[in-house]
Amino acid sequence: MAMIRFGQHVVTSSQIFFQSALSFAFVNIRPVVPGHVLVAPKRLVERFVGLTREEVTDLFVSAQKVSMAVEREFKATSCTLAIQDGRDAGQTVKHVHVHIVPRRPGDFKRNDDVYDKIDDSEASLDALHHDMRSEQDMKEEASRLSKLLDFS
């Protein structure tokens, strides 16, 4: 099974549902809502400012494609896209990545609570918790999203 490095973690091919020339998208082991996925550059770069112009373009074009598929698959009305760039911004995985979180009316008490949830999910990534998704669950989600992106 092929793997890609994601900072200090490894993402398996079964979790990856989209790849472009310079970026990849994968399902989240600890989503804040169903459909919360991540898009990252293939090259391991810790900070956004370290990306080349080509990587920035590819990352955001990829995030746009992925967000459209996520909205469709999870019947969302909007998406929150977020980058935590650096430790003081809440980044715990030392690899640039875009959070794509499908949104619906009333999904959080306060709209901006989504950012606290993202912080919480990232902060606990290195710990073993019972709320991690199964490999099978992530594989099935990746397969569904991959089919939607085959036509983009």
d(CA 40, CA 97): 4
d(CA 139, CA 146): 10
Within 8 A by CB and 6+ apart from 121, the residues are 28, 30, 31, 32, 36
Task: Count Cβ atoms within 10 A of the Cβ of residue 85 and give its class: 0-12 exposed, 13-18 middle, 19 or more buried.
Answer: middle
d(CA 107, CA 113): 10
Catalytic-labelled residue, pool 97, 99, 129, 130: 97
Residue 130 is a catalytic residue:
no
Catalytic residue positions, numbered: 97
